[in-house]
Amino acid sequence: MIKVNVLKKNEQLSKIKITGHAGYDDYGKDIVCAAVSATVITTINGILALSKTIEYIENKDGVVIEVIKEDEITNKLLNNMLSMLSELEKDYPKNIKIN
């Protein structure tokens, strides 16, 4: 299962940690993992193209996104990402969980 842990500070997103594997299908064929990866990487790239308000670490365990400077556009893009992941969670509740 993919786990998305969201931390807020003063009602603003401060850190998002995404770990695990959906287990919907084999590696390389898993549509849930592909959707999560595409959503997260597109969001990260979009934010970094506009500003340097986040830092991220990507490794074999997953991705951690940390907001280093609060910004309205960054907050909107991260909330959009979480909204998209939430839609996946509704469709695939056995494969992705947002906390």
Q: pLDDT digits over 62-84, tens only?
A: 999 999 999 999 999 999 999 99
Residue type, 90: K
- 3-state class of 33 per DSSP? helix
Instruction: Specify the CATH architecture of the domain 2-98.
Output: 2-Layer Sandwich (3.30)
Domains of the chain, by residue range, sit at 2-98
Q: Is residue 47 within 8 Å of residue 17, measured between CB atoms?
A: no
Tens of pLDDT, residues 1-49? 999 999 999 889 999 999 999 999 998 899 999 999 999 999 999 999 9
| pTM of the complete model | 0.94
